[in-house]
Each structure stands twice: as structure tokens, then as C-alpha cells.
Amino acid sequence: MKILMINGTMRKGSTYQVGKLAIEEIMQEGDQLTELFLPKDMPEFCRGCAACIRESETRCLDYLMYMKRFTRMIDEADLLIFTSPVYVMHVSGAMKALLDHYGYRCMIHRPEASMFGKQAICIVTAAGGGIRSALKDIKDSLLYWGVARIYTLGVKVGTSG
């Protein structure tokens, strides 16, 4: 099984550690894990041109530099693991910027068929509030992409410095 971990922070703090613990529980011999970190692996904001929706995702100004590679990795994975710390009751801005780039993949636009056979886990950590809304931020996108099974895990942690 190919596992792709998409981290909404570059810190290897609580969120990353919780994600890795979950992966340790799941991974079996022969599984392959790839890790991506935001914003490093996709540092751009959506410009709102909507060329991806109206024409093709290859028209996105971020396609050649970042999205082509990112999308290939997502499409090849069997299990997607999204992790994000809660920032002001929601996912990190870096995670939101990535999800925005996949607006074209929503059911009402151009869903990608391989999503219907994938599973995903959404993991967020917070010091107090916002776990539910941040999990929803990720889950909403994955639902609209058509991911077959989506699991969520929210963990309260101490503030990390």
C-alpha cells in the first residue's frame, strides 16, 4: 500500500508526531510512505483565475513547479494522511492553500476517478478549541473529491514552543 502523508506544517512538532504514531499503527511490511510538507512542497496561494475549473488544471500557474508532482503523488497513493495544527480554529493557511488548488476536483467540476477507491485520515492537534472545525476543513474537501473512506482524529496537546 502506498501511503502519502501531507503535513500542514513544516514543524516536526505535536501534529507530525501524532501523524507518525498513527502511521506506525497502520503500516505493514511492504508499505511505502512518502511525506510532503507545507508550505515547502506547495508554497503558493490560489490566485482565483479559475482556469483549472474552466479549462484544465495544467493551466494553473503553479502546475509545472508544484501541483504536477503533488497531484501525481496523491493519485498514486492508496491512503492519504492529512495533518494540520489548529490555527485560529481552522487548518493552517498552508493546508488551506493546498486544498484551494484542488477546487477543480470537486464532484460538481471534474472529480478524479481514482479517489473513489482511496482512504484518508485527517489528523489535527490543538491546545484547546477548533479541532472539530479544522477536521471539517479537510474532510469537506475530501468528501467533495469523492474519497471513499475518511477517518478523523483530533488530539489535544500542550502548546508547543
Q: Which residues bind ligand FMN (CB under 6 A)?
A: 9, 11, 13-16, 85-89, 125-130, 157, 159-160
Where on the phi/psi map is residue 30: left (φ > 0), alpha (ψ -120 to 50), or beta? left
Q: CA 75 to CA 85: how far, in whole Å?
A: 24
- Minimum CB distance to ligand FMN smaller for 14 or for 119: 14
- Minimum CB distance to ligand FMN smaller for 43 or for 128: 128
Q: CA 17 to CA 83: how far, in whole Å?
A: 10
Closest separation in Å from C-beta 61 to ligand FMN? 28
Query: What are the φ and ψ backbone dihedral angles of 8, each rounded to 5 degrees?
Result: -85, 10
From the list 38, 98, 8, the residue with the least C-alpha distance to 62 is: 98
Which residues are 87's β-sheet partners? 90
Closest separation in Å from C-beta 139 to ligand FMN? 17
Closest separation in Å from C-beta 123 to ligand FMN? 10
- Minimum CB distance to ligand FMN smaller for 86 or for 138: 86
Closest separation in Å from C-beta 117 to ligand FMN? 30
